[in-house]
Structure 1
């Protein structure tokens, strides 16, 4: 599986410098688009995490920006005539609950003690990069499985996703990309 985007630095509308219409309660909540190519044909469900390890020196832990489980590949549009067979469109996070209700999004770090947010539109959706000190690098990992992961509900924690994909042999394809965001 190959994960790609049309950029290496996350555009402003998906992060810290997003205009007001791309924010919820002051947090950037419009998710960026990305592509999934060269996927194993046996993959029927996609799951991903978007995290910031450069946050560790700043706040003492990895910052979780987005976690998603159980997106059925058949619910996404394929275009075999396009150079990218599968696209996760911009603002997918906000639209996911109405487009694909069986897919769920997990809690991000804005729910934690540092940010202390309670609005589920901020804490259980994409929460864009806001590096406070310098440009940070972010990792988007996508996992492909043949079956949905069991026991996932809206607001799940990232450790649950990682336990499901790393402690079992359900992952049949995997890809990742690193993207940066300016401070």
Structure 2
């Protein structure tokens, strides 16, 4: 089993993180400190339902920092043994 510490993505650890949904090619400025880290559910207007999926893989993924979701899913589909999902409610604060 693997243990993941709370707020892990906020640390400057030696692990790979992909782009989040704040990414936009329309932005003129560099927002990599925001868009290259996990942010968590952030409903824009009301409570939203989110799906969290955990994958069991037979191999480490070959991804570089700043990867996109489609790159992640392609790699996962090549190495997936099993997966499980849970639906969560993100509350508008």
State the TM bucket, normalised to the shorter chain: 0.7 to 0.9
Structure whose CA Rg is larger: 1
Q: SS state of the match for residue 125, structure 1?
A: coil
- Distance change (3 Å), C-alpha of 1:137 and 1:108: same
The match for 2:6 is: 90
Aligned to 2:89: 180
Gapped regions of structure 2 (runs ≥ 5): none
TM-score by length of 2: 0.79
- CA distance in 2 between counterparts of 1:129 and 1:149 reads 24
Q: Which structure's residues are more often strand, by fraction?
A: 1
CA contact (8 A) 1:111 1:118 kept: no
Cα distance in structure 2, aligned partners of 1:89 and 1:123: 21
> Size of the alignment, in residue pairs?
91
The 5 A counterparts of 1:13-52 are none
Name the structure, 1 or 2, with higher relative contact order (CA <8 Å, separation 6+): 2
In structure 1, runs of 5+ residues without a counterpart are 1-77, 79-85
Shift of 1:88: 2.4
Q: Secondary structure at the match of 1:130?
A: coil
Give, in angstroms, the shift of residue 161 of structure 1: 0.8
RMSD of equivalent CA atoms: 2.1
Q: 2:71 aligns with which of 134, 156, 160?
A: 160
